[in-house]
Chain A
């Protein structure tokens, strides 16, 4: 294409205009407003009253429990999802007949694109009073309470986000050069050794991507703790809904939201730096 000709440049600009306007008005502007609000004061009737104060940030410890829950359960949920997802991704990528591979992968991913609301609701049903606890009573175990516990929230998390973890790991295992595995076993490497020294390191990029995707979504999670934590196990997302829609304390809510985004950015950039370093290290050692 005649890339530098003048009319082409105008076409490029015109094609990008709607997208640019969207980014400007629906992403950049709202994020700036939220940042400004977080330094403001609460109006008597709720909402925002202007001013510049650090009061809202000083008040953050009053929502400490929500931050603690999120910072403990989100990483734990990510780790459990990884442990559940890895063997499945491994099985699908390396042990399944080519003919069924794609179909099975699609079966894993499809639930992710259906309503998280309805899928999480299913677990209220299963874990609630008339679900598993009733079944347990039949075999003589009584008084088991499953719903509204951290465990219930973790089950919901693994259920909701498992597909998102399986997919990137599957892709990295699928790309893996199978002759390396054969070479390792030909040279007398035990299956465990082959896994630890070849399969696992080479699937690291997939693990890193999957963990990052799941972790980011979990940091902003609202539905799962709202349904399965029942007001006892709540996340930052639940605190945000309360602050914006119930108590209408916008400046404080804005401060909580800004802190959430800040924590996410810091964790993700640290994590990316860590995984990138270990990736390049491995590439060198392979050569």
Chain B
């Protein structure tokens, strides 16, 4: 049994280890290991396409994480007071947006937004003052951020709601009895108790958005995120440079996950 567990752990981690190992390859071919070097990291970091894609990914992931933790927390706070049909409706929508495959969200968002833009752009052009260039709506940052946020917002709602459920209600009642305003109660009693869940939600949302390929692939328009760049490079051929980029992506998400795990652990120690 123990041997089996070790075997499964090896199965999970050896492929990751191989990517990391080959990213330090001194040779020019991806699959022959010829000494160790960090030259491919230098190559990857000085590649302007990688830099641009990385910045795009960061902007998207940060916006997604910010929006989802804000809206998700607000919704989680409100949902505990909601009863009956609206509650069932919201719960249903939360589960659908978590469960629906990314590819369907990507396609549906692409088709819906392109249709709306095709309808709005001539309209905008017609009401725009003569002589100036009318704005043209197109796929880009906003569409990727909005599509990612659908999933991550629901994720934050689920995380924060679980925390609220485990919270000591007596503290809130005590705060109200002592004539604290609802805002004071939220800020001084509720928020300190739920903030580890909010932060964990923020980090998980960031990680999801940073690693997502399929939704971005459909709705990012001309913007290239890091996963889209990696996908295109792999299609062109495997190089040690891709291994180096992949290793950095893995390291980034690992660092974020460790932080999220630490925060969630802290939560359970209350």
Task: Identify the A interface with B (CB < 8 A).
Answer: 1-3, 8, 11-13, 15-16, 18-19, 22-23, 25-31, 33-34, 37, 47-48, 84, 87-88, 90-92, 95, 104, 106-108, 110-111, 113-119, 121-126, 128, 130-131, 159, 162-163, 216-217, 219-223, 227, 237, 240-241, 244-245, 250, 253-254, 257, 260-261, 264
Contact = CB atoms under 8 A, between A and B. Distances in A.
B1 A113 contact: no
Contact of B230 (A13, A28, A110, A118): A118
B115 to A, nearest CB: 6
Contacts of A240: 103, 107
A114 B172 CA distance: 38
Given A33-B111, A117-B231, A245-B217, 6 more contacts: A11-B78, A19-B72, A33-B115, A114-B257, A117-B230, A125-B30
A181 to B, nearest CB: 15
B71 A18 contact: yes
Contact of A244 (B13, B218, B227): B218
A221 B226 CA distance: 20
Contacts of A125: 15, 18-19, 22, 30-31, 238
Interface residues of B, number: 77
B156 to A, nearest CB: 10
B241 interface: no
Interface stretch (B42-50, B191-199, B245-253): B245-253
Contact of B242 (A48, A114, A121, A217): A121
Contact of B246 (A95, A121, A128): A121
Contacts of B157: 19
A114 B13 CA distance: 12
Contacts, number: 211
A2 B242 CA distance: 58
Interface pairs A-B: 10 shortest CB-CB: A220-B101, A30-B108, A122-B15, A15-B78, A130-B31, A30-B112, A118-B246, A19-B75, A33-B112, A15-B74
A31 B108 contact: yes
B178 interface: no
B165 interface: no
13 contacts: A8-B81, A13-B78, A16-B74, A23-B97, A26-B150, A27-B96, A110-B257, A115-B249, A116-B213, A117-B211, A121-B234, A122-B16, A221-B101
A244 B110 contact: yes
B65 interface: no
Given A26-B150, A222-B214, A223-B213, A19 B231 contact: no
A189 B79 CA distance: 48
A179 to B, nearest CB: 22
Contacts of B179: none
B8 A48 contact: no
Contacts of A163: 12
B2 interface: yes
B109 interface: yes
Contacts of B234: 121, 124, 227
> Among B103, B105, B218, which residue has the most Cβ atoms of chain A within 10 A?
B103
A244 B103 CA distance: 11
A26 B249 contact: no
Nearest to A110: B257
B249 A223 contact: no
Contacts of B101: 216-217, 219-221, 237, 260, 264
Nearest to B183: A11
B15 A119 contact: yes
B211 A22 contact: no
A22 B104 contact: no
Interface in B103-137: 103-105, 107-115
Contact of B97 (A25, A27, A221, A227): A27
Contact of B99 (A115, A162, A216): A216
A108 B257 CA distance: 13
A254 B19 contact: no
Contact of B12 (A23, A159, A216): A159
A126 B115 CA distance: 43
A115 B19 CA distance: 13
Contacts of B208: 113
B27 interface: no
> Among A87, A117, A221, which residue has the most Cβ atoms of chain B within 10 A?
A117
> Among A47, A118, A126, which residue has the most Cβ atoms of chain B within 10 A?
A118
Contacts of A47: 114
Interface in B145-188: 146-147, 149-150, 153, 157, 172, 176, 182
A173 to B, nearest CB: 13
